[in-house]
Structures are given as C-alpha cells and as structure tokens.
Amino acid sequence: MESLAHSGHHDRSRHTPCAGYHSMLNRRGFLGLAGVSGLTWLTPLGQLLARESEHKREPATSVIVLWMQGGPSQLETFDPHPGTDIAAGTKAIKTSLKDVQLAPGFGRLAEEMQSISLIRSMVSKEGDHERGTYTLKTGHRPDPTVVHPSVGSVCCHQLPSTGVEIPRHVSILPGQWPARGGFFGDKHDAFLMDDPAGPVPDTQSYLPKGREADRLKHLDVVEGAFAKGREKRVANTMHSETLANARKMMSSEQLTAFDVSKEPESVRKMYGNTPFGRGCLAARRLIQVGVRCVEVTLSGWDTHANNHTQHTKQLEILDPAFSALIKDLRERGLLEKTVVVCMGEFGRTPSVNPAGGRDHWPKNFSAAIAGGGIRGGQVIGQSDPMGKNDPTDPVEVGDLHATVLAAVGVDYTKVLQTPIGRTMKLAEGKPVKGLL
Amino acid sequence: MDWARNLLFIGVVVGGLTTLAANLLPPSEPAPVSQYVAPSYREPDFRLTVVRADNAFRKDWDEKSLNHSELATNLIQIRRVALGLMGTIPSLEEIRQIEALPADQQMPWWIDHVLKDQRFHDYFGERLARAFVGTEDGPFLQYRRRRFVTWLSEQVARNKPYDGIVRELIAGDGLWTDHPATNFITVTVRPEMKNEPDPVRLAGRVTRAFLGIRLDCAQCHNHPFTEWKQADFHGLSAFFAQAHLGFRGIQDGDGAYEAEDRYTKTKSVIEPSVPFLKEHLPANGARRDRLAAWVTHPKNEFFARSTVNRVWAIMCGKPLVEPIDNLEPGVQIPVPLQILADDFAANGFNLHRLIRLIASSEAFRLDSASKYEVGEKEEKAWAVFPLTRLRPEQVAGSVLQAASISTINAETHITIRLLRQIERSNFVKRYGDTGEDEFEGRGGTIPQSLLRMNGELVRDRIGGSPVNASTRISLVAPNDPKAVEVAYLTILSRRPTPKETTYFEQFLNEPGLGRSDKLADIYWALINSTEFSWNH
C-alpha cells in the first residue's frame, strides 16, 4: 500500500508534481539506473527477459479526454436507434464497420471507426451535472470524506515525468469543473488554457528583459530578510523553487506546443475552425512534447429543449475535431501511445419532453474510446431499443477508468491511503473485457 | 431601452470619475482615535481563560522541551487578524490609525474594529458556509448558496449565539429563499431521490461540521479505527427522514428511515438515535428539533470543541487538531482547546468572545521567526507561529488592498467595489480555489506563481494607473526612505529592515526609470515574495 504523505514537504520527496517539470529520481528511474549500473552481469537472463518484453506491448504514455459538458444524448451520437419510438425521428448512418451505425452528423468519424470502440452500456447513478462530472472525471462518486483525483492527475501522479518543462496535466477550454488533483494536492490540478488561438495565460512577461532581472534581484533582498529566523521553514514552503520553475516554463520552447498557428493550414482546417477543434489540435501537439493528460471541453450538450437541432450543431464541431484527432494521431504513429476518451457526465432520456428536449439520464449512456492499445472497432453492450430496460453488459464508470489506467500501465488495483487514513483503490472496477 | 443603457453608461462614467477624483486627492482621514478602552478584554473571567490557555501551552512546551519564539510585533499580529477574519491585509490608512494608539491598546482596538466590519461578516460567513454546505452549486431550483452565505454573514454581524445558528440550520422550516437557513437541508435535494432531502448526506454534514467527527465513514461499514458502528450513522440519518420538500419549502411530516443491509439486501426501519450522550436527547418533539437540541447541548463537548478548532483554523490557517474533523473520542484533545471550548459553552456560544480570546492568546501572538532552531515540532505545538499558505481569496484581497492606500471596505464607492469583486473572482478562479479542503498544508503551484508574476490583476494594480498606490506613493512620499517605508507597510504590513531600506533607496537613486516605475518594481518584488503569500 502506498501511503500518501500529509505534509507538503514529505509529499514532494515522493511524487513529482504535475504542473512541475523537474525530473526526480523515482522508483522507476531508480530501477532503470540499477539495471544499467549493477545488474548487467545477468546477461543471459537479461537477454531472455528483454526478448520476452518485446512481445509485450509498451503501455500508452498519454491520455486525451474529450469532455462533453452537459451530457450528450446517446441517441443522437454513438447509439442511434433509427425507426424506434425513442429515436424520435433521429436516423442513422453507416460506418466503416459493418453493423455499426452512428447518428447522422458523424460522417467523418464514421470513416475512423476501425480505430474507435463504442461503449453503449455505460451506467451511473449520478444525474446532477456537478456530481456526474465528478464521477465521470474521477471514476468515483462524490464522497464527503475525500476529494478524488481526476484520471489525468492519477496518471501524472503515478507515472514519471521526464524532460517536460510545461504542465503535464492540461485542461483546454475548461468548463465549470475542470480536472482536479483532489487529495493529491492542487499541484496536480490541470493547467487551465482557453482557446489556443490566444496566448498561454500569464506566461508572457510584460517587461523588457533587463527590468525583469532587476525585479528578481529586488525579490532576493526581500526573501533574504524574511528567511531570517525561519530559514528551513521558508525553504519548505517551496515558494522560491516554484517561482523558479514557473520562470523556466515561461522560457521553455515546449510552450509553443500550445500554439496551433504553427501547424499547416490544411491540418488546422481538418480539425475545424472552432475553439474545440483548435483544442484538439493543441492536445496532439502537447502530447508530442510529453504532456501526460489533456482534457478538451465541448460544452452545450444540456439539451432540455430542442435536443435534435442542438445536437446537430454540436456534431458539426465534434465530428471534424474528433475524427481529425484520431486520423492525425494514427498517421503520426501516436495513436498507439495515446488513449482518447470521448464522454460526458451522463446521457439523456429515451423520451422527448414537450419542449423537444431530452432530460438527464445516467441509467444508460455511451462513451467512445480509442488508441493506447485499446482494441478498435468494438461495440460493448447494447441499449434497450424501447428505452425501458437496463443495457446488456453494463459498464460502470469505475470500469471505464480501470480500462484507461490499465492502458497507460498504471496498476488500477493499487490501494492508496487518503489524507484521513482511509484506503482507496485507484479505480473501483475492472478493465472492460474485449477492449484490452 | 436605449435611454436605460445611456443612463447606465452615464452612471458608470460619473461613478468612475468620482472614484478617480476621490483616489487622487489625499485621503481625508478622520482624526485618529488616540485612546481605546475595551472593557471586554479586562473582565476577570476573560483574563482568566486567556491565562489558563497560555499556561496550558507553556506547560506543553516545557514537557516537550521546546523553545518558543518571542511575541511578534503588533503590526504582524494585526496582519494575522485581518487575513484570518477579513481575508485581506490591513490598509495603510488602518495601520496609521492603529499606530496612533498606545501599544497595549492597538490589538484590542483592531479586533473590535474588525468585528464590526462588513468585510469580516462576509468573509467569515463564507468560511462557515464552506464547512456547512461545501462549495458545490447544488440543485438549481431548490438551492440558493448566495442567500445562505448572506444569512450567515448577518448572524455573524449581530453575533447571534452559535448554538442558535446551528439549531436553525438543522431544524429550520420554510422556503430556501425566505428562510435561507433551510438551504442547509435543500442542498442535498436530488432529482434521483424524488426531490427529497438526503438524510444520509445530512447526517454526515451534521457530524462533520458541528461535532468534528467523521461518523459518515460508518455509513457503509463499522468504522475501522473508532467505536462508530453502522447503526450509529443510520440512527442519526433517521432524524432527517421526516423533513420533506413541498410548496412551503422544508417542513416536517411523517415518514420512516429505511436502511438496506449491504450483505443481505434486506431493508429495515431505523428509529432515530444518537451514538453517545443519549441522556441529552429530548424525548419529545419533531425529529430535527430533537437532534438540534442534542447537537448544541452545552454538555455535548463535541460541539464546542469542533467550533473552537474551526475558528482557530480560520484565524491561524491551521487547526489545533488536524485534520479539522478529527476530534473523535479517543483522540487526545489539547488542553488549550478544551479550555477555550469550556469558555465558549459557558458563555452562551459567543463567537465574538471566542475570536477575542484566540487573538489575545500568546500562541496567536508569537512570532513565526525564532532565534532558536525551530521546525515542525515547534509549529505543531504552537511554540512558534506556523507558516501557512494564504487562500486564493486572501491573496486576491491582499493584492487589491495593497494597490490602494485607503481601506477598501463597505464604504468604498460601489463602482470600485464591483470592479474589485469581479477582479477578485477572476483571480481566484485562476489561482485555484481550494474548495472545502481548506486546511491542507500545501505548497504553492506554478500557475499561482505565473499569476503573481505576469497576471493582469497584479500588473494593473501596480502599474502606472493614477489610482494605484505605487503611483500615489511616488506623488506624495516626501523622500525616498519614506516611499520605501510606505510601500512595505502597504504590502507587507511591516517596516523595511535597515538593509532593505539602504538597498531600495539606492535603487530609487539610480538613473534610468522614472520614480513611479521604480516603485512599481519594488511593489512587484514585495507581492512576489514568500512573505506576502504566506501567513506568518
């Protein structure tokens, strides 16, 4: 069992912060080093082991979450039921997979379906936006005794950081409840970024170089005075170190990963000229420089009225961005290393209300997952075409999280201790059979 | 509606100009008070409690052979009071007023002044709200967090006895808009539960927020480390089973609480019961009234202890017992905490008195620096004042206050206050709200550093705008040493050391930049220091 240290100080010695970049010697690094330095005499066995591992797939290294804030209707996205009552007129289109249909509006995504799997039997118990978002983003239901970390924070916390000078956990177009570090601490919170058409917030100094250097000199004088009589404790605040890391980030070349204008026009066009499209493109650029997890939010799915027209509009944004991301990652050989999940906090009711809308429906909804060694072209579970019964092969939110963690090589059964000493599994579930 | 828009526009312009003018003119200070007689601090039983708490701390330090630090300067104590109770630093104007008083009257005057200030009511109300209902938005139709916080602020302002506040929260009836206390109940309403309040969440909140214990861990299983049994938790939940939501808001009716056995999946009706001190539970009355009477019973020590621990944490950045809701039976209660809790219960749960007691205690007034080698052990025993990271609102409030010489309070012009409000909330959003986990010891984050170094708020506040303190200081300070001193007092609430004075005087004398640009540079350095972002 890994115990989570309480004080910030102890914490730092064990875990590398998400938003930090300094690479410390962690367990993996240490093992690697030990392998290089002392264990090479075990050559025959070493070779055998090496050969064995060639057959095993390397785990994925990054996660991209396409977050559909508001709760998309499964019937107008990944799980259409044309011709039934619950379809309420929504038709379906063919895809590159035989027997698998998508809602109209997914014309481009339909061509990528060999890389994507659909889970049509997601189930949850949370029908409120905030609680549902918490559940889907962390894999745990809200619990007053602990704040759970989001999947991106778990990846950053559990996997090593090497050579990344910018935050390893990023939320683009953050909605109301961006991914948090939970009890791992706010240094694991996602770095918030608006439309990548604009600059990265607060990373540009507004002063000429010389004057900045002067200001830092002044700062040293003030810090010196404060440290008197509390040297060690002031050092423990990590204030100066954090400031130095922030300055390193400001001058890092990797910051340009946010800058989508560096991409050829054809690529930008493929993702769509929308904030969400640019967000997806930036996500690809970010994982290329080693960022662990990027969350890109598309809001507007809370269709209590005019469900169908609103979904048509949403798909005009989602279809090009999602399909371009999959295609682009695949063509660059990055899809194998990147898990892409597209999900929202719940689905929408099979019945249509008098305002032409669909209301919240956590009992059965859909998610799409691709890349990172996850088998493509699969459909997990079936929803009831009458909208009355539970789906077959239900997938709990914890199962989806276990799947993602397993794909990036994190032991999802690992038990951590929360700050109040309660034990908590990284994921409350098992990977979905048929996806790994 | 064009005329309305024009009128609004004119209003904003006139308001803006008035504020600008008001800020450009030297602050018209009322003649400072030069004497302050504060009888409440002299009452024998008040003094006695302070002395007893101080002695208890000292005894603990002796037993552990810990060296304690000297008393901090009055100004540093005053900064702590301002940050803890109002979420901001004292203004230069206020510091000047304080310094017009004899040294021994400064803290009493300041504390009493703060207790009357609306900034205290609002800030403290929000801090209590976080413990009571968290930060979630709650159900859209049946929950008004704003109303709830305003109501709490009003109770804090008129110093309503704390047990009375809590009784209204637990047992109040009516509409959440009309009787804001009922938002404590309605925040748990969920559509999946037929729009009824959730007894389980309410029982969890009550034990955590008002008794400082985590009985809700026993919701699913018998508690592994304490004596709590699952039945204890269900018994408490049952007190909320008859609270219903209807046209008249929250009302008591009938109903039974059914709990499901996790293993056998059979349901059984559970009668309301309390896990300890059963003799203090009234036998008759509505279920919630009975629970409220039991929770706030003067003999229910958990109630007073948990309140003292929370108020201490709000004022000092760290509770006496950590984590804040870890006052389980069997956990050793520090003697000073018990002394303060006894006083709180014996004096009608008077929050203002409790605040005065804490601020008068030696532990609150000790320096965070020491001539001895001190570390975690001393911090833990309060032999030295701990360094704790300021909350995002405290940093935002401090940046805004630091940019102005005069006090930004309820009397400040509405346009300025509105503007500050917007700036503050934007800043807090980016700085990263700590939510409910308020007292976790944590270091700062990179986005926070970025925001202080390059962010709009700091840039605008220290920049060359004529309403900002740096510009005003450069206009009004008669000489360089005075200008440096004013900058330090305004931002760090202290005077510069001789070394700092010399250094910055020299900098101001260098050729090159204009004086107000140089002052902006000094401001930047002060705002980016550890000292500014940490309570100390």
Specify the pLDDT at position B329: 84
Report whether B431 contacts B443 (CB < 8 A). no
Indicate whether A93 belongs to any domain.
yes
Q: Give the Cα separation of B42 and A104 in Å (integer).
A: 78
> In the predicted model, what is the mean pLDDT of residues B305-310?
97
Structure tokens at A21: 């970049």
The answer, for A229 touching chain B at a CB cutoff of 8 Å, is yes
Report whether A281 contacts A74 (CB < 8 A). no
> Which one-letter DSSP state was computed for residue B332?
P
The answer, for A24 touching chain B at a CB cutoff of 8 Å, is no
Chain A contacts of B528, Cβ < 8 Å? 215, 219, 243
Q: Give the Cα separation of B197 and B237 in Å (integer).
A: 11
Specify the pLDDT at position A24: 38
Of residues B524 and B444, more confidently modeled: B524
CB-closest option in B190, B454, B531 to A222: B531
Q: Give the rounded percent of residues in chain B with a pLDDT score beyond 70.
A: 89
- For residue A423, what pLDDT band results from cuts at 50, 70 and 90? confident
Report whether B182 contacts B175 (CB < 8 A). yes
The answer, for A231 touching chain B at a CB cutoff of 8 Å, is no
Which amino acid appears at position A315 of this protein?
L
Q: How far is CA B13 from the centre of its chain?
A: 35
Q: How far is A242 from chain B (nearest CA, A)?
A: 6
What is the torsional sign of CA A38, A43, A45, A46? positive
Residue with tokens 């349901």: B267
> In the predicted model, what is the mean pLDDT of residues A99-128?
96
User: Which residue in B189, B385, B453 has the most chain A C-beta atoms within 10 A of its own C-beta, making it the best mutation to test that interface?
Assistant: B453
The answer, for A8 touching chain B at a CB cutoff of 8 Å, is yes
Structure tokens at B446: 């990179």
Top-confidence range, A230-239, B8-17, B34-43, B167-176: B167-176
> Is the pLDDT at A31 greater than 70, yes or no?
no
Residues 125-154 of A with CB under 8 A from B: 125-128, 130-131, 144-145, 147
Cβ atoms < 10 Å from Cβ of B446: 27
Q: Please judge whether A6 and B533 are an interchain contact, meaning their C-beta atoms are less than 8 angstroms apart.
A: no
Chain A contacts of B520, Cβ < 8 Å? none
> In the predicted model, what is the mean pLDDT of residues A243-263?
95
The answer, for A36 touching chain B at a CB cutoff of 8 Å, is no
> In the predicted model, what is the mean pLDDT of residues B311-320?
96
Range of weakest confidence among A251-265, A302-316, B18-32: B18-32
Distances B75 to B71, B198, B402 between C-alpha atoms, Å: 11, 47, 15
Structure tokens at B189: 């309403």
Specify the pLDDT at position B442: 61
State whether residue A380 is helix, strand or coil.
Answer: strand
What are the residues facing B259 on neighbouring strands? Answer: B268
* β B243-246/A116-123 pair status: unpaired
Q: How far is A348 from chain B (nearest CA, A)?
A: 14
Report whether A369 contacts A403 (CB < 8 A). yes
Report whether B79 contacts B107 (CB < 8 A). no
Residue with tokens 């997979």: A97
Specify the pLDDT at position B18: 62
Q: How far is A432 from chain B (nearest CA, A)?
A: 25
Q: How far is CA A199 from the centre of its chain?
A: 22
Range of weakest confidence among A103-112, B12-21, B35-44: B12-21
Top-confidence range, A103-107, A232-236, B322-326, B421-425: A103-107
CB-closest option in B371, B445, B525 to A219: B525
State whether residue A45 is helix, strand or coil.
Answer: helix
Report whether A169 contacts A190 (CB < 8 A). yes
State whether residue A202 is helix, strand or coil.
Answer: coil
Among the listed residues B481, B469, B489, B526, the one whose alpha carbon sits nearest the alpha carbon of residue B508: B481
> In the predicted model, what is the mean pLDDT of residues B20-33?
58
Range of weakest confidence among A204-213, B359-368, B491-500: A204-213
Question: Phi/psi of residue B216, each to 5°?
Answer: -65, -15
A with B: how many residue pairs have Cβ under 8 Å apart?
182
Top-confidence range, A383-392, A412-421, B131-140: A383-392
Burial of B502 (0-12, 13-18, 19+ CB in 10 A): middle
Q: How far is A165 from chain B (nearest CA, A)?
A: 11
Cβ atoms < 10 Å from Cβ of B99: 14
Number of domains in chain A: 1
The answer, for A194 touching chain B at a CB cutoff of 8 Å, is no
Report whether A297 contacts A190 (CB < 8 A). no
Burial of B200 (0-12, 13-18, 19+ CB in 10 A): buried
Of residues A360 and A163, more confidently modeled: A360
Specify the pLDDT at position A51: 47
Chain B contacts of A145, Cβ < 8 Å? 214, 216-217
Structure tokens at B231: 């039945």
Q: Give the Cα separation of A102 and A78 in Å (integer).
A: 5
Among the listed residues B381, B315, B307, the one whose alpha carbon sits nearest the alpha carbon of residue B78: B315
Q: Give the Cα separation of A201 and A191 in Å (integer).
A: 10
* β A338-344/A62-69 pair status: parallel
Q: Give the Cα separation of B242 and A435 in Å (integer).
A: 47
Chain A contacts of B139, Cβ < 8 Å? 128
Among the listed residues B221, B218, B436, B259, the one whose alpha carbon sits nearest the alpha carbon of residue A142: B436
Q: Give the Cα separation of B77 and B62 in Å (integer).
A: 24
Q: How far is B128 from chain A (nearest CA, A)?
A: 16
Angle at B527 between CA B523 and CA B529, to 5 degrees: 120
The answer, for A10 touching chain B at a CB cutoff of 8 Å, is no
Q: Please judge whether A187 and B513 are an interchain contact, meaning their C-beta atoms are less than 8 angstroms apart.
A: no
Give Cβ neighbours of residue B224 (< 8 Å, ≥ 6 apart). Answer: none
Q: Please judge whether B369 and A228 are an interchain contact, meaning their C-beta atoms are less than 8 angstroms apart.
A: yes
> Is the pLDDT at A8 greater than 60, yes or no?
no
Summary mean pLDDT of chain B:
88
Range of weakest confidence among A112-116, A262-266, B142-146: B142-146
CB-closest option in B369, B459, B528 to A229: B369
Indicate whether A82 belongs to any domain.
yes
Specify the pLDDT at position A192: 92
Q: Residue B198, CB half-sphere, CA atoms under 13 Å: how many?
A: 13
Q: What is the DSSP string of B486-514?
A: HHHHHHHSSPPPHHHHHHHHHHHHSSSS-
> Which one-letter DSSP state was computed for residue A181?
-
Specify the pLDDT at position A21: 39
Q: How far is CA A344 from the centre of its chain?
A: 12
Report whether A361 contacts A349 (CB < 8 A). yes
User: Which residue in B132, B446, B461, B503 has the most chain A C-beta atoms within 10 A of its own C-beta, making it the best mutation to test that interface?
Assistant: B446
Q: Give the Cα separation of B75 and B110 in Å (integer).
A: 10
Q: Give the Cα separation of B292 and B272 in Å (integer).
A: 13
Specify the pLDDT at position A27: 37
Distances A124 to A346, A364, A390, A395 between C-alpha atoms, Å: 7, 7, 11, 9
Q: Please judge whether A211 and B442 are an interchain contact, meaning their C-beta atoms are less than 8 angstroms apart.
A: no
Structure tokens at A45: 């066995």
Among the listed residues A347, A393, A351, A350, the one whose alpha carbon sits nearest the alpha carbon of residue A367: A347
Q: What is the DSSP string of B135-148?
A: S----TTT--HHHH
Among the listed residues A149, A241, A231, A159, the one whose alpha carbon sits nearest the alpha carbon of residue A188: A149
Specify the pLDDT at position A26: 41
CATH code of residue A112: 3.40.720
> In the predicted model, what is the mean pLDDT of residues A350-357?
95
State whether residue B42 is helix, strand or coil.
Answer: coil
Cβ atoms < 10 Å from Cβ of A383: 24
Indicate whether A247 belongs to any domain.
no
Cβ atoms < 10 Å from Cβ of B250: 25
Summarize pLDDT for A65-112 with one digit per residue, the tens. Answer: 999 999 999 999 999 999 999 999 999 999 999 999 999 999 999 999
CB-closest option in A186, A246, A360 to B453: A246
Distances A418 to A5, A152, B39, B40 between C-alpha atoms, Å: 9, 18, 47, 43
Among the listed residues A115, A181, A194, the one whose alpha carbon sits nearest the alpha carbon of residue A152: A181
- For residue A149, what pLDDT band results from cuts at 50, 70 and 90? very high
Buried b (16+ CB within 10 A) or exposed e, B129-147: bbbbbbebebbeebbbbeb
Q: Give the Cα separation of B197 and B184 in Å (integer).
A: 10
Distances B116 to A209, B92, B361, B463 between C-alpha atoms, Å: 47, 19, 21, 33
Q: Give the rounded percent of residues in chain B with a pLDDT score beyond 90.
A: 60
Report whether A258 contacts A195 (CB < 8 A). no
Indicate whether A138 belongs to any domain.
yes
Burial of B265 (0-12, 13-18, 19+ CB in 10 A): exposed
Q: Please judge whether A127 and B522 are an interchain contact, meaning their C-beta atoms are less than 8 angstroms apart.
A: no
Question: Phi/psi of residue A293, each to 5°?
Answer: -140, 130
Among the listed residues B192, B181, B182, B197, the one whose alpha carbon sits nearest the alpha carbon of residue B239: B197
Q: Please judge whether A167 and B139 are an interchain contact, meaning their C-beta atoms are less than 8 angstroms apart.
A: no
Summary mean pLDDT of chain A:
88
What's the maximum distance between 2 C-alpha atoms anywhere in chain B? 84
Specify the pLDDT at position B392: 87
Q: How far is A223 from chain B (nearest CA, A)?
A: 6
Specify the pLDDT at position B2: 59
Distances A308 to A69, A322, B145, B155, B291 between C-alpha atoms, Å: 17, 20, 33, 48, 49
- For residue B427, what pLDDT band results from cuts at 50, 70 and 90? confident
- For residue A143, what pLDDT band results from cuts at 50, 70 and 90? confident
